[in-house]
Amino acid sequence: MANLEVEFCGLRFNNPVLPAAGPPGWNGAALRRCAEGGAGGLVSKTLSVQGARVPTPNMAFVRNAFLNTELWSEMSPRQWVLREFVIARKTGLPLIVSLGYSAEDIATLAPMVAPFADAVELSTHYIGDDPQPMVDAIQAAKAALDVPVLVKLSPFRDVAVAARAAQDAGVDGIVAVNSFGPVMSIDVESGVPVMGSENGYGWLSGPAIRPLAVRCIFDIARAVDVPVMGVGGVSRGEDAIELMMAGASVVQVCTAAILKGPSVYGVIAAEIDAWLDEHGYASPGDICGLALRRLQGREVRYAHLPPEYDGQACIGCGRCEQSCVYQAIQVVEKKAILSPERCHGCGLCVTRCPTRALTLSW
């Protein structure tokens, strides 16, 4: 068995799968359920100086996309301090308290949450493109707290620029990414946008944003030396592995836990364990940033190189033939026959093949 324990900015997590700020940790009891579901640590819903007024409806699952128009916590900081954090702390897991948004807000909130927070995570979701308000918020948190200060970046800005500014401001770690948007989805039966916000806008999360999260994590990990927590579209162990290979040491999960319940944390952790074991790695640290190392010195290829084919592994499902626009593959008697002279080396068939009968060499 791999050793799943991870250290992040001095915090020790039993495993590298945490809830992301949002409904999975909307109050103390929900955070306790995350702990019972196998999370390695806890992250609470973002709170600010005043409880948010959140429009309804504010969450929707629409054919592989998840939209929300939640804001920050509807509860006051007082309620969090008097009740919710007390419950969360009883789990014994490290607690990261998510705070928003301006330097003034953080200066007010920091002393209130200090007795409960093992670290704070500052959301930058609503503070615009200029990195300065984020820098000011980081400095306010650093001045008021002795615990690690993390900053969470949104994927619709230049994350490398923001990450460098955060590092220069003294941040201890970066969390990437928040949900993407604004986006919109319309219920075609009624013609009404599914989100109850004024303009019908919402924010996208879940599997649809995973490639965006992977790219952002990759860019941040290349830009700074502080550690990165990855978040965006993780719903199984392999997704978490992907974010780690991009440079994350720990992952957070929100949408999958909303859809499947808090037991996903333990399930994903067990899947990471099994994957590491099968692939001969001793710990998540072994794969952190692997893609950055693999890409070093790689030359861009222009040759129309056909994939390699393993007839034993082929189940003749025909997906490769179906999606080969160059007509370079034909499935005959449950086996794929490749025509290398027609192949453009696009690689799509490799990603369509469910059994790795088709592979590309690098």
Q: What are the residues binding ligand FMN (CB under 6 A)?
A: 20-23, 45-46, 59, 66, 68, 70, 72, 98, 123, 152, 178-179, 205-206, 209, 231-234, 253-256
CB of 151 or CB of 291, closer to ligand FMN: 151
Closest CB 203 distance from ligand FMN, rounded Å: 7
Q: Classify residue 226 by its DSSP letter.
A: S
Q: Which amino acid is at 304?
A: H
Closest CB 310 distance from ligand FMN, rounded Å: 34
CB of 167 or CB of 178, closer to ligand FMN: 178
Contact 313, 357 (CB under 8 A): yes
Closest CB 337 distance from ligand FMN, rounded Å: 40
CB of 18 or CB of 221, closer to ligand FMN: 18
CB of 203 or CB of 309, closer to ligand FMN: 203
Closest CB 41 distance from ligand FMN, rounded Å: 14
Closest CB 77 distance from ligand FMN, rounded Å: 14
CB of 233 or CB of 247, closer to ligand FMN: 233
How far is 68 from 46, CA to CA, in rounded Å?
Answer: 15
Q: What are phi and psi of 105, to 5 degrees?
A: -60, -45
> What is the per-residue DSSP string for 64-112?
TEEEE---S-SS-HHHIIIIIHHHHHTT-S-EEEEE-S-HHHHHHHHHH
Q: Classify residue 13 by its DSSP letter.
A: E
SS3 256: helix
CB of 232 or CB of 284, closer to ligand FMN: 232
Closest of 160, 99, 108 to residue 126, by C-alpha: 99
Closest CB 22 distance from ligand FMN, rounded Å: 3
CB of 48 or CB of 167, closer to ligand FMN: 48
How far is 46 from 26, CA to CA, in rounded Å?
Answer: 8
CB of 248 or CB of 329, closer to ligand FMN: 248
How far is 226 from 220, CA to CA, in rounded Å?
Answer: 9
Contacts of 69 (CB under 8 A, 6+ apart): 54, 55, 58, 195, 196, 197, 201, 202, 203
Contact 229, 220 (CB under 8 A): no
Closest CB 155 distance from ligand FMN, rounded Å: 9
How far is 65 from 83, CA to CA, in rounded Å?
Answer: 34
Closest CB 91 distance from ligand FMN, rounded Å: 19
Residue 97 tokens, joined:
């308290």
